[in-house]
Structure 1
Amino acid sequence: MTDRLRLTIAQINATVGDLAGNAAKARAAWDAGKAAGADMVVMPEMFLSGYQAQDLVMKPAFVIDCDRYIRQLAAECADGPALGIGAPGYEGTELYNCYFVLQGGEIRVVQQKHDLPNFTVFDEKRLFSSGPLTGPFDLNGVRIGLPICEDAWHEEVPEAMVESGAEILVVPNGSPYFRDKFDVRMNQMVARVVENDVPLVYLNQVGGQDDQVFDGGSFVLNRHGVLAMRLPIFLEEIAHVDFERGDDGWQATPGEIAELPDSLEQDWHCMVLALRDYMAKTGFRKVLLGLSGGIDSACVAAVAVDALGPENVRCVMLPSEYTSEHSLEDAKAVAKNLGSTYDFVPIKEVRDAVTGTLAPLFEGYDADLTEENIQSRIRGLLLMAQSNKFGEMLLTTGNKSEVAVGYATIYGDMSGGYNPIKDLYKTRVFDICRWRNANHRDWMDGPAGEVIPTRVIDKPPSAELRADQKDEDSLPPYEVLDGILTMLVDDDRSVADCVDAGYDREIVKKVEHLLYISEYKRFQSAPGTRLSMRAFWLDRRYPIVNRWRDPS
């Protein structure tokens, strides 16, 4: 009977659909484990296919191709440690979220996920069948239980495995980030360890996939819930975990415990990784954005430079007669501080041509929001033309407060392929920009120091689509607006709850109305980094046509 076991855990970045590339990364991790004398190399949930693959897994040809790569990996990794890797798989006509253990040139174990998440961004009950409760498998004389991700968030699967003899639980995950999620995961895994009195390895993948970001932060718990190791968040890493058998069971040898940054740093790193991976995985190298001199576009520019480097970011100022001298100066200062390219494209001639063309039709009508939106749509047109001509992805820059209440112009400033700050309320944009000015990390490709001028952060927000315009002409102060939106959107609270919290009922009803009538805009908006549990996309799915309003 062995008294030592070494696991290699690979916190690695997969790409959905890149079966060859993902298989190559798994093989490289296996090589590292073999060189380190590991008994098993463990990859995250659904690593071969990438996660979340959504309806791609419903294509039989895709699942069959995954099976081909699994068998190829089994053959290539025959002489060395076992390899654990996730992928979709059939049993008969049923499709499962599977975890394969490859050893000795064969598929030794196929673990099928039992608890299928069907909330927030997850639709697994729609995609997969639920696997049976099973026991552990034998790894060189040690009994290993393999609850897959959600299986470990409930008591039943780990308990069944330990009752069947599991001595160590290894949990492969595809767990996406939301703010403060690490503590939620840790509490759940500590509960499983305490309930079952065995050590646990929690392996999470890392990397961006559309709006979601997998934040890594893999960890190892010893009995009694004692933290033995933690890998960094948002970074790839391969680590080796040594277990020893003592009189009272198995225990992991303590390793490095990576620091867990505060939530502002986590959000910034999440946005950087999301954009970096979205670009790399879609094949784009460069971005452009309209730089207005305001805080939102400055924040997006800084995220883009940190993600891609200043040489791959182009900022474009598109002024009208309503653009203040301060905004012209501030936009140029942001681009200069970041080291990115700055271009100047006035919209006056195009605007004159459009308004002149429409003048006969609009005769007798007063100027209103129509003329303001024409300016925004001209900017969208000019920016998209540049995107097409130069092969640069256009970034859009609306914050969550604006996206929520429709304070944005569809086919105008909403134009673009990605929005890093889509899930940041305006008040948090202020906070996170101050954080970035005061902090710099190795994973940032942008410069250190005050990249966003203080004046940009401190001045009153304005769309500058008419003379002396301020956001608060149309909206409540952002502190009030964001407080109401947090209750209505993030917490699903009622109008009465908002009033009980001290908000004016008339203002709450106005915000509720704007929230519901703006659904059609969000339906057509660019994807953006998910930072909360109620981001605007898969987390919150509302009908566009909806006459219900809260009567409270």
Structure 2
Amino acid sequence: MKLAIAQINCTVGDLGGNARKILDYANRAKQSGAKLVITPELALSGYPPEDLLLREGFREACGKAMANLAARINGVALLIGHPHLADNKLHNAASLIRDGKIIATYFKNELPNDFVFDERRYFAPGAHPCVFDLEGIKFSINICADIWQKRTAACAKEAGADIILVLNASPYHMRKQALRYEVIRERINETGLSFVYANMTGAQDELVFDGASFAMNHKGELTHQFDEFKETLGLIELQNGIPIRGKMPTSRPLEASIYSALCLGVKDYVGKNGIPGVLLGLSGGVDSALTLAIAVDALGADKVRAVMMPSRFTADISLSDARAMARAMGVHYCEIPIDTVFEEYRQTLAHELLALPQHGRADVTEENLQARIRGNLLMALSNRYGSIVLTTGNKSEMAVGYCTLYGDMAGGFAVLKDIKKTMVYQLCHHRNTLGSIIPERVINRAPSAELRPDQTDQDSLPPYEVLDSIIEAYMEHDLSLSEILSMDYAEADVRRVVHLVRLSEHKRRQSPIGPRITQRGFGKDWRYPITARYLDEF
């Protein structure tokens, strides 16, 4: 028997569009000889629908879309993920459709309520397995987090299953696929059953779904591995309920997967929201260079505008490198000097800026004025062209507040929000292996905001290798200060970084969203209070 995985990119709330895509994949699977097609979790509604699920009209529309789709399915069985209302309870469900009828429905048992997930806010859990027979094979249904618990797979085996089908909307983070393999192998060791893992691809706000659907046999051997970050119809041949070895993975470096995730995040945020294009401030530095490359690779050069806004502190090489990169990428490029506007601001504020004796010299106030002038200019161009501003700050800067509210933080989508500075450099090197577009001296120069003479980032921050490691330990892994100190970091660096992370929460709350790439980003899965007096102690 042959089954198919519809690894598709669904759009939240586009019930008609999602249904048409599912029907198209079902018909293509039928033409390929498949008897069963599996969609991702909540494929009909898109994932995650969030508070749309609280609206009665949306729930009713999902029910109507499901009924309409079911009536059009024939000649192939379809296992589809969808929201389902039963006995006044809403469930994260998967239903089997055959010959125009819904013949079985399974309710997700394990509802995650951690990291980026909020499913207990919307859904009631199921409690029973669901096994159906097709072509003499007994299939059981699991949905995503179900496989993280022994109970659901064990119940499926007790109910007579030969193979478990898992519908997923599993968002990407670095090295996530290895974790999925590990969990599935644990369930295989416990049950002796084969598994088919069908995952969504595409991006929804800050979440990116990598697809990478796969199958494993009852020995825990990988038999099929489908592409990352692409829609695909994955065909799997079964023999006695066991997948027969077929398409296998092509190994890719970590940087390649991250870069693809960022491109998909930008492409879907812009495309699914109907935004005509993007623009960004191109400074001649490494962050804006990488952001420009991602934008062009995601959208095409014709939808990208780059704006260089030099000041008296802008180095000549920054200007020449920005020009060179804009030419290499083929984007619309312009230069808008800010010195005249900056002087006007300073004159307008002169009385107040000099009001206190200690404020008789330039400080961070003047630095932030420059950043805010640039942000203001970009937003004016955004209004004029209808393009969204891509901010260029990275996770290291966002963590410690090395960014300006209403300045370089002004924009609609933060491409590098979950990318630490050390990874920025790795991604630049990776992109240049695909075609050299980021000048080497942009990568090799000491990073600088260029807001005062001879400024470098390391004037204010520890070396990025140290900063990023402390951020990862404290923010991504929740280690205590004493645990971080045991990793041989200088106490002064640890105290300073943790203090800055706490101090900058109010800034991050006002920052635009961006693609989540690590296991914990500054978004859905970081919910720290702004007003709080608790301090970690050594």
Q: Identify the match of residue 52 of structure 1 among 27, 31, 48.
A: 48
What secondary structure sits across from 1:165 in the alignment? coil
- Cα offset for 1:537? 0.6
Kindly provide the CA deviation profile for residues 341-388 of structure 1, in whole angstroms up to 9, marking residues without a partner as x.
Answer: 211011122212221111122234322111110110000000000011
Partner of 1:17: 13
Kindly provide the CA deviation profile for residues 31-78 of structure 1, in whole angstroms up to 9, marking residues without a partner as x.
Answer: 11221232211111000100011121121211110110100011111x
Are the aligned partners of 1:135 and 1:165 in contact in 2 as well (CA < 8 Å)? Answer: no
Partner of 2:251: 260
Q: Which moved more, 1:515-524 or 1:359-368?
A: 359-368
Q: What's the Cα RMSD here?
A: 1.1
Q: Which moved more, 1:478-487 or 1:292-301?
A: 478-487
Mapping 1:370-409, distance limit 5 Å: 370-409=365-404
CA distance in 1, matches of 2:98, 2:134: 10
Q: Identify the match of residue 221 of structure 1 among 216, 219, 223.
A: 216
Partner of 1:29: 25
Q: Identify the match of residue 330 of structure 2 among 330, 339, 347.
A: 339
- Cα offset for 1:122? 0.5
Q: Identify the match of residue 130 of structure 1 among 125, 128, 132.
A: 125
Are the aligned partners of 2:129 and 2:141 in contact in 1 as well (CA < 8 Å)? Answer: no
Kindly provide the CA deviation profile for residues 257-282 of structure 1, in whole angstroms up to 9, marking residues without a partner as x.
Answer: 13131211111010001101111111
What secondary structure sits across from 2:142 in the alignment? coil
CA distance in 2, matches of 1:301, 1:110: 46
Are the aligned partners of 2:428 and 2:443 in contact in 1 as well (CA < 8 Å)? Answer: yes
* TM-score for both structures, normalised by structure 1: 0.95
Are residue 466 (structure 1) and residue 466 (structure 2) matched? no
Q: Which amino acid aligns with 2:472?
A: T
Q: Which amino acid aligns with 2:328?
A: N
Structure 1, unpaired ranges of 5+ = 441-448
Q: Which amino acid aligns with 1:304?
A: A
What secondary structure sits across from 2:165 in the alignment? strand
Partner of 1:483: 469
Structure 2, unpaired ranges of 5+ = none
What secondary structure sits across from 1:225 in the alignment? coil
Are the aligned partners of 1:419 and 1:526 in contact in 2 as well (CA < 8 Å)? Answer: yes
CA distance in 2, matches of 1:276, 1:415: 20
Are residue 515 (structure 1) and residue 501 (structure 2) matched? yes
CA distance in 1, matches of 2:156, 2:534: 47
- Cα offset for 1:103? 1.2
CA distance in 1, matches of 2:67, 2:251: 38
CA distance in 2, matches of 1:30, 1:534: 35
Are the aligned partners of 1:230 and 1:258 in contact in 2 as well (CA < 8 Å)? Answer: yes
Partner of 1:174: 169
What secondary structure sits across from 2:516 in the alignment? coil
Are the aligned partners of 2:169 and 2:200 in contact in 1 as well (CA < 8 Å)? Answer: yes
Q: Which amino acid aligns with 1:531?
A: I
CA distance in 2, matches of 1:391, 1:296: 23
Q: Which amino acid aligns with 1:391?
A: G
- Cα offset for 1:142? 2.4
Are the aligned partners of 2:425 and 2:443 in contact in 1 as well (CA < 8 Å)? Answer: yes
Mapping 1:302-321, distance limit 5 Å: 302-321=293-312
CA distance in 2, matches of 1:39, 1:483: 50
What secondary structure sits across from 2:284 in the alignment? coil
* TM-score for both structures, normalised by structure 2: 0.97
Count the aligned residue pairs: 534
Partner of 2:525: 539
- Cα offset for 1:106? 1.4
Are the aligned partners of 2:104 and 2:130 in contact in 1 as well (CA < 8 Å)? Answer: no
CA distance in 2, matches of 1:6, 1:494: 51
Partner of 2:314: 323
- Cα offset for 1:482? 1.1
Q: Identify the match of residue 106 of structure 1 among 101, 126, 130.
A: 101
Tell me which stretches of 4 or more aligned residues in structure 1 moved more than 4 Å.
Answer: none
What secondary structure sits across from 2:187 in the alignment? helix
Partner of 2:273: 282
Q: Which amino acid aligns with 1:39?
A: K
Kindly provide the CA deviation profile for residues 279-335 of structure 1, in whole angstroms up to 9, marking residues without a partner as x.
Answer: 111111311100011100001001111101112111100011111111111111111
Kindly provide the CA deviation profile for residues 165-200 of structure 1, in whole angstroms up to 9, marking residues without a partner as x.
Answer: 111111110000010010100111122223212221
Partner of 1:208: 203
- Cα offset for 1:213? 0.6
Q: Identify the match of residue 427 of structure 1 among 422, 430, 435.
A: 422
What secondary structure sits across from 1:33 in the alignment? helix
Are the aligned partners of 2:211 and 2:229 in contact in 1 as well (CA < 8 Å)? Answer: yes
